[in-house]
């Protein structure tokens, strides 16, 4: 019998989007530090690999005004994670940071610091953002042409790696007797000349416990997948179903070989949601309730407006779909600061009208129907079995769980599902290592003893 | 405004093994631990237990100058203090954050977040990067003259403070009937247009516990017009360097006059004096330690007040400077860590408390509370 794959789990702090049900009486603060502490400690109690924070650098706007129907407001990720390092011991700490509105030297220094302060638990989810809308909050504005965003991201990630490799392991000898703190040859200078960055100097932070923080990527396009296959330790995908998961998994893992990487050097961890009940029927009822909370009457209209590209506030969310036609120009500009997934609004409208007609759905019911996310729903046993089947079936290496409720949204999963995964021998009962690389089974990057940048990876024994 | 319950404020600055370049070679120093969380947690907890108002952690992007015999490397100060925040309760946490190669939007968010994770104990020590070496780390612009960097810092503080106000208190309403999470009329575009950058806003972070974390601006000398102007208009704390009581008193008068010129009431701006300290049980011990340290590494010349001796002598000087109107408090820069910190909290502070010069801050209070500053309303709030 082949060895069972070990599942990797991560906790996503509830987002600034409509996954989070703020209207539930159980819903707590999305900004008080205590909420972050609770979710992180819950994840650590469940022996999760890491805790994850997303990024948003401009508040979303809809019809020219700040969008007010979803959760709004978040802290700076690295600052929260540095604080969480004080109240957790083993949990990995992952922050999403943009390669467009940051600079490699500063970002590399901040992640190296987090890695030191957490004894090797830092991770960086590198994202690209080319939009001029976000750029209005930054010195350079929206300076980057859309097509160049992956060029900048790839060069940014390479450059950060060059900085992290400049200090040799053990550069600091701190010999009080001889008066040598660090030998100068163990602290290498860097010089990077490229189309995006032209920088040089000496990096200000000694080599951190993980060498490089764990690198996460979330790209879904062909270019994004290629970038992930080349540089990422973890890919955070949207493909959380069985078949779409398997297709994505196979495609990305296939790309590793050309970069000299092995299959296990990259973990694919889709985002998903879990709803648990004592019976399957109860779990499904809970889902209905959650969906109503996620798609409020006002939210349903706003969602429709994003596709129609026009003001639909006069329509009744509990009535039929509008018979007016969508505005193609409006659909491009009505909502800003949000990733658009609908490339062709006319096609979406046609499809939605068909669904609404076939199932006799109101506006709100339709939005609930078409925005339902693939999720693990059922009794704890059903959830554990299905999640394990998906992982053993190579639809994923594990999952990032996105709770609906802050901060107690993962309590049930940790209390009821994690023990079942542990019983099946597919999830750790105790942390075996101390760093996030240990949890993920990733090799340590090597630094050259001369302090010169080195691209090589050395493998630690399994 | 609440009345200050103490005569003056004392904080401590931290950097590496202490401010003397040979500090790491002292017997009590732990140079191998300089890049660990535990090192800083221990120091800040001792400073808090000892009744100090705040800790200021120095920072700079580039690696320190010097050869194999100097401490090289430094962790990001703001992250250090975020790491320390959950395991402390009272002490103010003031990181140095530079304005030359950084983004005002990120800096505003980070400091607001430090204020959240510390329940209202965040401050910001403003600094600029002057060197071409620092500029080359970013490759975005050339090194500029100090007056240009200060003008940029001035705009930077302005926009950060606007971003801190860009969410009014109570903007989060969670109104179920209307489906609104926030009252967007209480969120404001800052629409800042300056010489160095434009920032649209609002912040992504709600208004923090203190509303406005404390801003600390360095003023080097009398006649340092640009720094005096920034401090007088925008700072809560001016941190001055002066080696004589008369020079400090003149500088404080100039700062307070300039602050009045900006319409600020007395008590709104605190003037703290930087002091290099080397404390030992006796003056003789201190002198011999000083000789050993200076024999190993030369200190850079400075215009700061410097004291080497037993704690009681320093307490006399601090009292004298405050009585002479030269200071509202002090930032002590220990030569050697943790030894000087131990002498500060075990010798100097108890002495100052006995004299009635100092009152230890109460647990659960904000950094603004320590300085007797009320929590301001957002500038955008309609009253």
Bridge partners (DSSP) of residue A8 are A398
The residue among A82, A115, A313 with the most chain B CBs within 10 A of its CB, best to mutate, is A82
What distance in Å separates the CA atoms of residue B123 and residue B119, rounded to the nearest whole number?
12
What pLDDT does A341 receive?
57
B103: chain A residues, CB-CB within 8 Å: 101-102, 138-139
CB A431 within 8 A of CB A285: no
What pLDDT does A342 receive?
63
Taking an 8 Å cut-off on Cβ atoms, the answer to whether B37 and A116 are in contact is: yes
B102: chain A residues, CB-CB within 8 Å: 106
Taking an 8 Å cut-off on Cβ atoms, the answer to whether A117 and B80 are in contact is: yes
Report helix angle B104-117 to A77-84, nearest 10.
30
Confidence band, pLDDT 50/70/90 cuts, at residue B361: confident
Helix ranges restricted to H, A260-407: 280-294, 297-308, 328-333, 345-359, 363-370, 380-392
What pLDDT does B303 receive?
86
Rounded mean pLDDT of chain B?
Answer: 95
Question: Cα dist. A408→A34, A40, A412, A413 in Å?
Answer: 11, 10, 8, 10
Taking an 8 Å cut-off on Cβ atoms, the answer to whether A103 and B138 are in contact is: yes
What distance in Å separates the CA atoms of residue A97 and residue A1, rounded to the nearest whole number?
42
Which residue in B93, B92, B87 sits closest to B38, CA to CA?
B87
What distance in Å separates the CA atoms of residue A217 and residue A128, rounded to the nearest whole number?
10
What pLDDT does B65 receive?
85
B27: chain A residues, CB-CB within 8 Å: 176
Within chain A, how many helices (H) and strands (E) appear? 16, 19
**Average confidence (pLDDT) over B256-276:** 96
B33: chain A residues, CB-CB within 8 Å: none
And the tokens for A244? 């779409």
**Average confidence (pLDDT) over B176-203:** 97
Distance from CA of B250 to the nearest CA of A (A): 38
Distance from CA of B273 to the nearest CA of A (A): 29
Bridge partners (DSSP) of residue A192 are A199
- Closest partner residue to B117 (CB to CB) among A80, A106, A203 is A80
Question: Which chain A residue is nearest to residue B185, measuring alpha carbons?
Answer: A66
What pLDDT does B138 receive?
98
Distance from CA of A272 to the nearest CA of B (A): 24
Taking an 8 Å cut-off on Cβ atoms, the answer to whether A109 and B36 are in contact is: no
Which residue in A236, A254, A253, A58 sits closest to A142, CA to CA?
A58
Taking an 8 Å cut-off on Cβ atoms, the answer to whether A167 and B199 are in contact is: no
Taking an 8 Å cut-off on Cβ atoms, the answer to whether B182 and A66 are in contact is: yes
Question: Which chain B residue is nearest to residue A110, measuring alpha carbons?
Answer: B76
Taking an 8 Å cut-off on Cβ atoms, the answer to whether B174 and A22 are in contact is: yes
Across the A:B interface, residue pairs with CB atoms under 8 Å apart total: 216
What distance in Å separates the CA atoms of residue B88 and residue B114, rounded to the nearest whole number?
13
A297: chain B residues, CB-CB within 8 Å: 179
Taking an 8 Å cut-off on Cβ atoms, the answer to whether A136 and B70 are in contact is: no
Whether omega before B338 lies within 30 degrees of 0, making that bond cis, reads yes
Half-sphere exposure in the Cβ direction for A197 (13 Å, CA) = 28
Name the burial class of residue A384, with classes exposed (0-12), middle (13-18) and buried (19+) by CB atoms within 10 angstroms of its CB: buried
Distance from CA of B379 to the nearest CA of A (A): 19
What distance in Å separates the CA atoms of residue A431 and residue A136, rounded to the nearest whole number?
43
ipTM over 0.90: yes
Distance from CA of B382 to the nearest CA of A (A): 19
Distance from CA of B100 to the nearest CA of A (A): 11
Question: Cα dist. A227→A149, A250, B106, B375 in Å?
Answer: 11, 16, 26, 47
Question: Which chain A residue is nearest to residue B180, measuring alpha carbons?
Answer: A69
A184: chain B residues, CB-CB within 8 Å: 67-68
Which residue in B77, B5, B7, B11 sits closest to B273, CA to CA?
B11
Whether omega before A407 lies within 30 degrees of 0, making that bond cis, reads yes
- Closest partner residue to A204 (CB to CB) among B74, B87, B138 is B74
| Stated pTM of the model | 0.96
What distance in Å separates the CA atoms of residue A100 and residue B139, rounded to the nearest whole number?
15
Sign of the Cα pseudo-torsion (A174, A179, A183, A184, in order): positive
What pLDDT does B300 receive?
83
Whether omega before B356 lies within 30 degrees of 0, making that bond cis, reads no
Question: Cα dist. A165→A112, A171, A207, A453, A454 in Å?
Answer: 11, 12, 7, 5, 7
Distance from CA of A179 to the nearest CA of B (A): 5
What pLDDT does A458 receive?
35
Q: What values do phi and psi take at A94, rounded to 5?
A: -110, 130
What distance in Å separates the CA atoms of residue B71 and residue B22, rounded to the nearest whole number?
9
Cβ-based neighbour number of residue A189 at 10 Å: 12
- Closest partner residue to A79 (CB to CB) among B79, B167, B206 is B79
Taking an 8 Å cut-off on Cβ atoms, the answer to whether A138 and B199 are in contact is: yes
And the tokens for B138? 């970013």
A56: chain B residues, CB-CB within 8 Å: 204
Sign of the Cα pseudo-torsion (B141, B143, B147, B153, in order): positive
- Closest partner residue to B79 (CB to CB) among A57, A78, A296 is A78
Question: Cα dist. A248→A254, A374, A376 in Å?
Answer: 10, 15, 19
CB B255 within 8 A of CB B271: yes
The residue among A27, A56, A73, A93 with the most chain B CBs within 10 A of its CB, best to mutate, is A73
CB B166 within 8 A of CB B185: no
Exposed e or buried b for every residue in A113-152, given b needs 16+ CB within 10 A? bbbbbbbbbbbbbbbbbbbebbbbbbbeebebeeebbbbb
Distance from CA of A261 to the nearest CA of B (A): 31
What distance in Å separates the CA atoms of residue B348 and residue A313, rounded to the nearest whole number?
67
* Contacting residues for B279 by C-beta, under 8 A, at least 6 apart: B286, B307, B309, B310, B311, B314, B334, B340, B343, B344, B347, B348
- Percent of chain B, pLDDT > 70? 98
Tell me how long chain B is.
Answer: 383
- pLDDT tens across B72-127, in order? 999 999 999 999 999 999 999 999 999 999 999 999 999 999 999 999 999 999 99
Mean pLDDT of each 10-residue bin along chain A, 462 residues long: 88 86 93 98 98 95 94 97 98 97 98 98 91 93 87 95 94 95 90 96 96 93 91 93 96 96 95 96 94 93 92 95 86 73 80 94 94 86 98 97 95 98 98 98 74 38 31
What pLDDT does A459 receive?
34
Sign of the Cα pseudo-torsion (B321, B326, B327, B330, in order): negative
What distance in Å separates the CA atoms of residue B136 and residue B133, rounded to the nearest whole number?
5
């Amino acid at each position: 019998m082949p060895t069972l794959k070990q599942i990797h789990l991560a906790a996503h702090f509830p987002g600034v989007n409509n996954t989070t049900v703020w209207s539930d009486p159980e819903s707590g603060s999305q900004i008080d530090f205590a909420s972050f502490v609770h979710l992180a400690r819950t994840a650590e109690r469940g022996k999760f690999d890491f805790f994850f924070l997303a990024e948003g650098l401009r508040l979303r706007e809809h019809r020219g005004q700040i969008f007010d129907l979803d959760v709004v407001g978040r802290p700076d990720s690295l600052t929260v994670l540095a604080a969480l390092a004080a109240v957790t011991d083993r949990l990995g700490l992952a922050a999403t940071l943009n390669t467009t509105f940051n600079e490699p030297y500063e970002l590399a220094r901040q992640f190296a610091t987090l890695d030191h302060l957490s004894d090797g638990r830092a991770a960086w989810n590198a994202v690209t953002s080319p939009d001029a809308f976000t750029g209005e909050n930054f010195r350079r504005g929206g300076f980057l042409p859309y097509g160049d965003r992956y060029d900048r991201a790839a060069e940014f990630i390479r450059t950060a790696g060059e900085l992290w490799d400049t200090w040799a392991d053990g550069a600091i000898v701190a010999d009080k007797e001889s008066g040598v703190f660090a030998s100068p040859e163990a602290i290498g200078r860097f010089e990077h000349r490229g189309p995006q960055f032209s920088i040089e100097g000496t990096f200000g932070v000694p080599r951190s416990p993980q060498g490089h923080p764990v690198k996460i990527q979330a790209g879904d396009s062909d270019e994004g997948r290629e970038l992930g296959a080349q540089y990422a330790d973890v890919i955070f995908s949207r493909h959380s179903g069985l078949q779409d998961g398997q297709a994505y998994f196979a495609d990305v893992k296939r790309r590793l070989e050309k970069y000299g990487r092995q299959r296990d050097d990259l973990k694919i961890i889709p985002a998903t949601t879990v709803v648990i009940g004592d019976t399957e029927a109860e779990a499904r009822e809970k889902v209905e309730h959650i969906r109503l909370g996620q798609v409020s009457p006002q939210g349903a209209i706003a969602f429709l407006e994003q596709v129609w590209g026009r003001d639909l506030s006069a329509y009744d969310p509990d009535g039929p779909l509008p018979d007016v036609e969508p505005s193609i120009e409006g659909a491009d500009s009505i909502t800003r600061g949000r990733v658009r997934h609908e490339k062709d609004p006319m096609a979406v409208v046609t499809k939605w009208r068909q669904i609404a007609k076939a199932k006799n759905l109101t506006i709100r019911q339709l939005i609930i129907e078409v925005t339902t996310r693939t999720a693990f729903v059922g009794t704890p046993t059903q959830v554990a079995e299905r999640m394990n089947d998906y992982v053993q079936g190579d639809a994923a290496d594990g999952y990032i769980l996105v709770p609906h409720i802050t901060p107690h949204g993962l309590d049930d999963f940790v209390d009821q599902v994690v023990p079942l995964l542990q019983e099946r021998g597919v999830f750790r009962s105790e942390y075996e290592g101390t760093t996030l690389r240990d949890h993920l089974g990733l090799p340590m990057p090597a630094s050259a003893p001369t302090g010169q940048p080195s691209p090589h990876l050395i493998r630690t024994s399994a | 405004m609440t009345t200050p319950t103490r005569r003056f404020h004392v904080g401590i600055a931290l950097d590496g093994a202490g401010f003397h370049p040979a500090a790491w070679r002292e017997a009590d120093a732990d140079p191998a631990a300089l890049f660990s969380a535990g090192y800083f947690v221990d120091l800040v907890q001792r400073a808090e237990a000892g009744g100090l108002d705040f800790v200021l952690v120095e920072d700079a992007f580039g690696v320190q100058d010097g050869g194999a015999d100097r401490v090289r490397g430094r962790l990001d100060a703001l992250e250090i203090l975020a790491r320390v925040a959950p395991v402390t309760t009272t002490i103010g946490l003031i990181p140095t954050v530079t304005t030359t190669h950084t983004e005002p939007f990120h800096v505003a968010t980070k400091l607001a977040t430090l204020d959240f994770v510390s329940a209202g104990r965040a401050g910001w020590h403003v600094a600029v990067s002057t060197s071409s070496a620092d500029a080359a780390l970013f490759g975005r612009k050339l090194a500029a003259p100090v007056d240009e960097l200060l003008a940029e810092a001035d705009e930077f503080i302005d926009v950060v403070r606007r971003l801190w106000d860009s969410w009014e208190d109570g903007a989060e309403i969670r109104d179920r009937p209307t489906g609104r999470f926030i009252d967007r009329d209480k969120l404001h575009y800052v629409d800042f247009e300056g010489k160095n950058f434009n920032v649209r806003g609002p912040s992504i972070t709600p208004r923090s516990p203190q509303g406005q974390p404390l801003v600390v601006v360095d003023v080097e000398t009398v006649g340092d017009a640009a720094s005096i102007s920034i401090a007088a208009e925008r700072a809560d704390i001016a941190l001055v360097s002066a080696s004589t009581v008369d020079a400090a008193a003149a500088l404080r008068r100039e700062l307070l006059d300039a602050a009045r010129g900006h319409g600020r009431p007395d008590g709104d701006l605190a003037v703290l004096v930087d002091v290099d300290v080397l404390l030992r049980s006796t003056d003789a011990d201190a002198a011999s330690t000083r000789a050993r340290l200076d024999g190993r590494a030369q200190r850079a010349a400075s215009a700061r007040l410097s004291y080497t001796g037993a704690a009681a002598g320093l307490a006399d000087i601090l009292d004298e400077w405050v009585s002479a109107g030269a200071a509202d408090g002090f930032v002590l820069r220990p030569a050697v860590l943790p030894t000087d910190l131990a002498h500060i909290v075990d010798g100097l502070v108890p002495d100052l408390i006995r004299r009635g010069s100092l009152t230890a801050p109460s647990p659960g209070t904000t950094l603004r509370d320590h300085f007797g500053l009320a929590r301001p309303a957002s500038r955008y709030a309609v009253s």
